[in-house]
Copies of this chain bind each other. A is one copy, B any other.
Amino acid sequence: MLNKDLNILIVGLGLIGGSYAEGLTKNGYHVNAITRSETSINYALEHNLIKEGSCIVKPELINNADLIIFALYPKVLIKWLQTNQQYFKKGVVLTDVTGIKTWVIKEIKKFLRPDVDFVFHHPMAGKEVYGVQNADYHIFENANYIIIKGENNQESSLKMIEDLGHVLNFRKIAYLTKEEHDEMIGFLSQLTHCIAVVLMNSKESKHLVDYTGDSFRDLTRIASINEEMWTELFLLNKEALLKEINNFLNTFNLLKVAIEKNDEKTIKEMMKLSTYRRSFFNKKGD
């Protein structure tokens, strides 16, 4: 169990930071927050998501923290650490919720103080809306929580980040290497967002709204996308993402040629393979 006496600081009160704050506070933990927007801090205080908050960096808020959770965009995270790591308490456990890992870990390793312990993790949950005003820790109930085990992480710190996932009620807690994580994210999340964006870009479709069934809606739900965050995530995971995009486009070309040539055999084989592979992903109700 995560120690109830921990002083937890969340840096970045967006949808995810806010949902962590809500989940931890509702479970009886002491949570403070630092975020740029005064509106977000006021909202979090008024709705009892946090005990104390500040929209400017207060060294004592940082220095008092035993566990700091960063819910920032990748590049903002790096800058924040460079500027403010001087205020960390020795031995503090740090963690982040960033959606890409190889780049973030490489950058942070370049300068991180050796007397703190950074355990990287990724909560695979989200919504198509943003901001602390939409915070809702129930989004974690059916989600996966991935921890990247670093060579130098202490067992007690890894345990603390695991416990954090348990408190927030994640469905599954798993370990991956940073490369495995980024490949998985490139395929399952980034490629699928690319597909949805491209599909909506490929045709003016407003006149088709009345004819649309659930499949099209399901497939394009993620076409509604925060362009600042996702552009950054795509480009910082460029190599893994481009590999998945090229795979996808090459495979699409096989299907296209088969259709052009009336090659029923190839089309049917591709459909059988997709049906077979999709079967492993079925949940009740699919």
Contact of A217 among B206, B253, B264, B286 (CB under 8 A): B286
When distances are taken between beta carbons in the complex, the residues of chain B under 8 Å from A124 are: 211, 213
CB pair B274–A211 under 8 Å, yes or no, is no
CB pair B214–A142 under 8 Å, yes or no, is yes
A146 at interface by CB-CB < 8 Å: yes
Most buried by B among A143, A197, A222, A244: A197
CB pair A201–B251 under 8 Å, yes or no, is yes
A51 at interface by CB-CB < 8 Å: no
A195 CB to closest chain B CB, in angstroms?
Answer: 6
Contact of A251 among B143, B202, B213 (CB under 8 A): B202
Contact of A211 among B188, B194, B214, B235 (CB under 8 A): B188
* A172-195 interface (Cβ within 8 A of B): 172, 174, 176, 184, 187-189, 191-195
Q: Given contacts A212-B188, A215-B222, is CB(A259)–CB(B245) below 8 Å? A: yes
When distances are taken between beta carbons in the complex, the residues of chain B under 8 Å from A197 are: 255, 270-271, 274
When distances are taken between beta carbons in the complex, the residues of chain B under 8 Å from A187 are: 203, 205, 208
Contact of A203 among B244, B253, B256, B262 (CB under 8 A): B244
Question: For the complex, what is the distance from the CA of A8 to the CA of B248, rounded to whole Å?
Answer: 47
CB pair A255–B194 under 8 Å, yes or no, is yes
Q: Number of A residues whose C-beta is below 8 Å from B?
A: 92
A5 at interface by CB-CB < 8 Å: no
Most buried by B among A174, A203, A235, A267: A203
A90 at interface by CB-CB < 8 Å: no
Question: For the complex, what is the distance from the CA of A188 to the CA of B273, rounded to whole Å?
Answer: 22
When distances are taken between beta carbons in the complex, the residues of chain B under 8 Å from A259 are: 234-235, 238, 241-242, 245
CB pair B264–A235 under 8 Å, yes or no, is yes
Determine, out of A24-32, A112-120, A150-158, A225-233, the stretch whose residues face the partner at the interface: A225-233
Contact of A225 among B234, B251, B274, B286 (CB under 8 A): B274
A283 CB to closest chain B CB, in angstroms?
Answer: 7
Q: Given contacts A125-B213, A262-B235, is CB(A223)–CB(B274) below 8 Å? A: yes
CB pair A146–B211 under 8 Å, yes or no, is yes
A7 at interface by CB-CB < 8 Å: no
* A100-114 interface (Cβ within 8 A of B): none
